[in-house]
A and B are shown apart, each in its own frame.
Chain A
């Protein structure tokens, strides 16, 4: 039982990171119908920028804040310089464009930062908390808490604020939103900034646990994408549940089956789900959005 709990803790922690990446996918996808494969690079930017800014002597909270800002600006630039000029391109072309962007960002990061692994100190020490015979690190709580805060903030933002609603309106019907006076270009810009900022937060929170390097983004993007698909693309609650499920399954698979195939678990699940529930767990039935 304690063993199971231990695996579950580590699974939910990683799952919360996948959930944040999947949320990032969802926000951009809803606003623009683009699946942004450079999503993992925002996580990398968050972690790496914080590490290097902190190394310059900035206090950690300030470094983290600046890192989030850097990622958000990168997101805005990505939208402005790369996605917008290719607005009417096909799905395949847009997928390749964002993958090109992710290769580009990784290439730049490897020049600006370096190719080493880096870590941040845990935010509140390393003394594990004992829970029912298993132990939970304080940093895991930071990750889980961070993800929970983001989910609540997003919920309030999308359901209680006018601007959040205008993003939702844009995702439902861009033309109609434009007609009732929503500034669609601004909505797209904010969506990319928001999505990048969430990715950066995930990167900062998880760096003390998993370390970071210039190339951590690829696998995170693939698993976040898998998580978003699992939940049903475009559904924020689905993204969170999908992320947690992928993280849990991965940790349990690594614990009980084979640690070598840890990374395979996410993709086996995704294939199984797609074969039997082609629209994901919470996917809406109806017209295809391609």
Chain B
């Protein structure tokens, strides 16, 4: 039972594909499609961030910065330089990869709270640049994003973007799962458990950390670009500190080092505020309360905690 639940990661991928394929049948209206797409976008970023936090064991409180660059790349480059949107998307990804590669090495030498404050600072600097360079970015009010055009077709409509987001998420999860099962993934998990032991075992700790950082930054950037294309508008909020925190919360809530758990976390924390708006002015207080309660009582994350309960029910015991 344990082996069957843990082993077939491909099974999980199949389940995810089925959920994405069948969800439109039960989504009653546009609002729910909208929420589903937002969940998908956040899930992409979270799956990437989980590689860094859950597998490599390095915290980042600045990934919204990469998300923001992804979003602003597809907004600013077509508007200011007339670059086609798809090319702007690729330039954004390349730029984020390069940026993460350059800042990653000095930042990842730090540990614990020091790493937290350095990534936080990096994220906030990116946020300030997109907020203050208003001649390009529209400042705090944000700017519109030109529709994506591919092979002469304008990509638009909530249905279309639902499928694009779903496909991107599947691709992202598939890549993450393969990475985790590869020697690189095992190296990452080794340095999560003990950097010293990993180093002794011949793992180039610094390079693998950097690798996880760059990959997770690219996931965040892609999520940002998709979100900008879909909503047709970008604001600095996407690059803000609170968004970084939301992403980390999704990772931890869903379950660190659990790729599918991250998706569950993204689904919960994305959907929750949408439905909390009913409570209007209590929205923030409730959000904070939910985050605190989940972190205190479901510390290992929702999916691993559930899995543990289920396994115990099946008379297996042990840790999920």
* Residues on A facing B (Cβ under 8 Å): 35, 82, 85-86, 89, 91-93, 95-97, 99-108, 110-111, 218, 222, 225-226, 229, 233, 260-261, 263-264, 267-268, 270-271, 274-275, 278-279, 288-290
Contact = CB atoms under 8 A, between A and B. Distances in A.
A110 B125 contact: no
A136 to B, nearest CB: 29
B132 A260 contact: yes
Given A89-B295, A102-B288, A289-B112, 13 more contacts: A86-B295, A92-B59, A95-B116, A96-B252, A97-B291, A97-B296, A100-B289, A111-B281, A222-B241, A229-B113, A270-B121, A274-B110, A279-B114
A103 B252 contact: no
Contact of B106 (A89, A95, A275, A279): A275
Contact of A104 (B113, B122, B292): B292
A278 B296 contact: no
Question: Size range of the interface on B?
Answer: 35 or more
B295 A278 contact: no
B287 A107 contact: yes
B111 A288 contact: yes
A270 B61 CA distance: 15
Contacts of B284: 103-104, 106-107, 110
A97 B112 contact: no
A108 B286 CA distance: 9
Given A91-B113, A288-B111, A96 B249 contact: yes
The 5 A-B pairs of least Cβ separation, nearest first, read A104-B288, A107-B284, A107-B285, A100-B291, A103-B288
B16 interface: no
B288 A271 contact: no
A86 B121 CA distance: 27
B39 interface: no
Contacts of A103: 284-285, 287-288, 291
B121 A271 contact: yes
A96 B282 contact: no
A290 B128 contact: no
B282 A101 contact: no
Interface string B261-286: 00000000000000000000111111
Nearest to B133: A260
B261 to A, nearest CB: 14
A133 to B, nearest CB: 31
Contacts of A275: 106
B252 A93 contact: yes
Contacts of B296: 82, 85-86, 89, 97
24 contacts: A35-B113, A86-B295, A91-B59, A92-B59, A92-B248, A95-B248, A96-B252, A96-B291, A100-B288, A100-B289, A104-B285, A106-B284, A106-B288, A111-B281, A222-B124, A222-B241, A263-B124, A264-B125, A267-B122, A267-B124, A270-B121, A271-B122, A274-B118, A278-B110
A171 to B, nearest CB: 15
Q: Is the interface of A mostly helix, strand, loop or mixed?
A: helix
Contacts of B47: none
Contacts of A270: 117-118, 121
A254 to B, nearest CB: 13
Contacts of A264: 124-125, 128
Contact of A111 (B112, B118, B285, B288): B285
B121 A261 contact: no
Max chain A Cβ within 10 angstroms of own Cβ: one of B252, B286, B295: B295
B216 to A, nearest CB: 14
B121 A278 contact: no
A233 B116 CA distance: 13
A275 B125 CA distance: 16
B192 to A, nearest CB: 11
A99 B241 CA distance: 11
Contacts of A274: 106-107, 110, 114, 117-118
B132 A261 contact: yes
A92 B245 CA distance: 11
Nearest to A92: B59
A247 B19 CA distance: 52
Contacts of B110: 274, 278
A101 B291 CA distance: 8
A289 B114 CA distance: 11
Nearest to A233: B113
B302 interface: no
A222 B132 contact: no
Interface in B69-127: 106-107, 109-114, 116-118, 120-122, 124-125
B299 interface: yes
Contacts of A107: 282-288
Contacts of B256: 92
B125 A93 contact: no
A225 B113 CA distance: 10
Contact of B128 (A225, A261, A271): A261
B252 A92 contact: yes
B38 interface: no
Interface in B20-54: 53
